[in-house]
Structure 1
Amino acid sequence: MEGGRKRRRRTRSTPFPLLLSLALWLLLPVAQGRSLRFVTLLYRHGDRSPVKAYPRDPYQESAWPQGFGQLSLIYIRSTDFDRTLMSAEANLAGLYPPEDHQMFSPNISWQPIPVHTVPDSMERLLKFPLSPCPRYEQLQNETRQTAEYVNKTIQYMQFLEMVANRTGIQDVSLESVWSVYDTLFCEKTHEMQLPDWVTPEVMIQLKQLKDFSFAFLFGIHRRVEKARLQGGVLLSQIRKNLTLAANASTPHHFKMLMYSAHDTTLVALQMALDVYNGRQAPYASCHIFELYQEDDGNFSVEMFFRNESGKEPYLLQLPDCEQHCPLLKFMQITEPVISEDWKHECEIASTMKDTELIVVLTVCGSILFLLTVLLLTVLFRSKSHPPGYRHVSSKEEEQS
């Protein structure tokens, strides 16, 4: 009884206002802090051997144990290349180490995670430049006529001729010289001795031209239209994923989506976003999209780029938008580089007119041919029967 009385006395002493406040607090919705809802990662594959060697390269494919274009480290959508598939698998192995029942073997700290890909011939999302696209090729031809491209060609003409002579490549241009730099860079990275003509100054110039070749592919001339035909295709899919992730009614939406691709993929995307820094994306560099739900329930997008192993990713800010770019504003700003009908926009505007012109010219040509044949026939007969000439029979000759 004494203990019971004491408990009742403590209960009576609880202030009523405190209980009321506690009840009201429990009835109110819990305040939501800013939360990360969805992440998209696009990264370049890791270290690899060269894609190919130049004709006079002392290190041909036999010098690389794993062959050309392969990862040298063993380290989900992916393009259909060994180096990007292996990079995806290596990243997944680090992200998802097995635990408890996932350990199917005590000696193997790995579990299988699916990596999705499509055949290279069918890739229309991650491998750039996308083709066939006649309008894009037309834009590239126009880019070759720009003052920037012409001046760069004149500036580096002697250097390109030297590279052609040293490498054995017959036609080295601003667009193809990147492969020479790529090969030499891979060989240098793997501590192979470079030819004597490959001085530090030569490597610097090759790197500058390699960076220019990326700008040529996706910029310099009519960047926005090129983006609609190239990097905007990938950006369109990323926008759809962000929208789905922000939709509460979307069932079982992914929390993270990873793309394992190439340096040209990153450049094409960043050109479309107008955040490209003008330099090739190094191995394993990663463009990050983060979708947040703010305190007020609205959504925002942040972008980061990680291109150095020893440093944190640095902020990428979409032009005309703040760091925490509202999702709706992100969609509005990027709308100009999104194509609604890629195949139609890839057509050259005058295609139908050209077809009609070809038909007309064909008909006119046929008529002209027939008239020419008729005229030649008339002339031939005229020469066979000249004016004033009459055939004389043998009877008339005897009478004469």
Structure 2
Amino acid sequence: MKASSLLSVIFFLSFNTLIYNADPEGELKLVLAIFRHGDRAPIGIYPKDDNGKDKWPLGLGQLTQKGHQDAYDLGKFFWTRYGKQLKLKQVYKANSPELHIRSTSINRAKQSALYFLAGFYNLVIDKAEELISPDHIPFTPESQDQLLSMTSCPKEEELRRNYLTTSKKFKKFNGNNDMKMLFQTISRMAGYRDDPVDMGKFGKIADAVYCELKHNMPQPDVIKQNLDILMEWFNTSRRYYGPSTPEIIRIKTGPLVSKMVQSIENKVTDPDSRDKLFLYSAHDTNVISLLSGLGCFNDIQPPYSSAVILELRKVEAMYYIHVLYRNDSSVDPYPFSVPGCGDENKKCALSDFKRAMNKVMMSVTEREKICVPIIKSKALSLSDNVIPITIAVVLLVCLVLSIIMYRIYKRPRKPRGDPMMYRPLAYGDDDDEDV
């Protein structure tokens, strides 16, 4: 065989092998994800709940044993899907330069991050808390966490009140008399006597029922008979009480979207950087907010350990973003198209993705400016009161001192000299007291 023919055959086989092995979705460069914590106990128990606190041995609001397993399984899923693609080693090392994880300050989110890592690195689940120190799960105190929007924001609350006051859809949703009567019946059953129903307390009932049903705990007849109606109401209410307007969406998820976009840009600028995975352990509100920011929220409560995943992939010289939603562990994650950005393959050119996210993005500093001024204005009003009070006190002290000095000045002065010269004359015997 001629040398040229042999080279042609080798080239043909090599080319076919390259094409065969190439990932049609492109080369995976970076993965970013936010996930909800695992299964938890209710935040609180309503007064007449037959399923009491003793049913939750790890504590109210805390992860259950099932929650540990949820987070562990999610970690295993991420390793299976991304470990080899990202050329990672399945050896746990604190503060890895390749995998970055962050949690909110809430304990169930921190524990979920810990068990996620245990699953990702294939550690023994029963020894997870021995092998991974909670100190290696970074978080920001709730009162300071602007990135994951855990700090309260008076501006957001004001926008939501305005929306609920003016929205015709909400008035129709909230004005259903049959639902009001059902709420009243359930509230009375639960041990509350508020009229009209206190929706905060009703939320506690709904949360307890949701958690208890996950553990097959018995429910009162009125709950069982109206369960479908209640779950539909619960899901629909997320649309109104959650990130319901573009302004609220920006406040709720803008800093996180900005951080994610920045991480993506950094990877594109420096493809050789060791950053491969950015993970955030958080809550249903965070998942809902990000889905809303991406234009992908389906008005259904995200289940425990659900995850929104952004994949940065490269096809030839072009970068693309794939948005995936894992809300069912029995099937592959669902691909989502970002409105105005995706194609039939659910991939989005990076430039289009950034353009679509411009309306959502907000820096941490910007969120601080939007959310903190009302708090600062209260402090300022306090200082505004303190200043005039201080001035008044100083003036009063000066006035009192002036009066004292004036009286001292006007007091009759004694002539200088021997004080005995001006001693009053004594009358009578020397033994008598001085007059």
Q: What code does the residue aligned with 1:214 have?
A: R
Q: Does 1:15 align with 2:16?
A: no
Q: Distance in 1 between matches of 2:4 and 2:331?
A: 55
Q: Number of aligned pairs?
A: 324
Q: Are the counterparts in 1 of residues 149 and 252 from structure 2 also a CA contact under 8 Å?
A: no
Name the SS of the counterpart of 2:186 in structure 1.
Answer: helix
Partner of 1:238: 260
Partner of 1:80: 105
Q: Distance in 1 between matches of 2:256 and 2:297?
A: 15
Q: Does 1:279 align with 2:300?
A: yes
Shift, 1:174, TM fit: 5.3
Partner of 1:333: 356
Q: Does 1:185 align with 2:225?
A: no
Partner of 1:342: 367
Identity, % of aligned pairs? 26
CA deviation vs aligned residue, 1:209-242 (integer Å, no higher than 9, x gap) = 322332123344xx21111111222211111111
Q: What code does the residue aligned with 2:305 have?
A: A
Q: Distance in 1 between matches of 2:315 and 2:225?
A: 50
Q: Distance in 2 between matches of 1:55 and 1:162?
A: 15
Structure 2 unaligned residues grouped into runs of 5+: 70-100, 385-435
Q: Distance in 2 between matches of 1:58 and 1:37?
A: 51
Partner of 1:60: 52
Distance change in 2, residues 1:245/1:151 (3 Å): same
Q: Are the counterparts in 2 of residues 232 and 337 from structure 1 also a CA contact under 8 Å?
A: yes
Shift, 1:36, TM fit: 0.1
Partner of 2:395: none
Q: Distance in 1 between matches of 2:349 and 2:172?
A: 41
Matching residue within 124, 134, 145 for 2:146? 124
Shift, 1:16, TM fit: 6.2
Structure 1 unaligned residues grouped into runs of 5+: 1-12, 360-400
Q: Distance in 2 between matches of 1:62 and 1:207?
A: 26
CA-based RMSD: 3.3
Shift, 1:126, TM fit: 2.6
CA deviation vs aligned residue, 1:31-86 (integer Å, no higher than 9, x gap) = 98721000012111111111111122123323321110111123321112222222
Partner of 1:214: 238
Matching residue within 184, 187, 194 for 1:161? 184
Q: Are the counterparts in 2 of residues 178 and 206 from structure 1 also a CA contact under 8 Å?
A: no
Distance change in 2, residues 1:248/1:165 (3 Å): same
Partner of 1:51: 43
Partner of 1:264: 285
Q: Does 1:38 align with 2:17?
A: no
Q: Does 1:205 align with 2:225?
A: no
Q: Distance in 2 between matches of 1:231 and 1:248?
A: 26
CA deviation vs aligned residue, 1:241-280 (integer Å, no higher than 9, x gap) = 111122226743x201111111111001111111100010
Partner of 2:422: none
Name the SS of the counterpart of 1:308 in structure 2.
Answer: coil
Partner of 1:309: 329
Q: Are the counterparts in 2 of residues 244 and 250 from structure 1 also a CA contact under 8 Å?
A: no
Q: What code does the residue aligned with 2:51 have?
A: Y
Distance change in 2, residues 1:206/1:173 (3 Å): farther
Q: Are the counterparts in 2 of residues 127 and 264 from structure 1 also a CA contact under 8 Å?
A: no
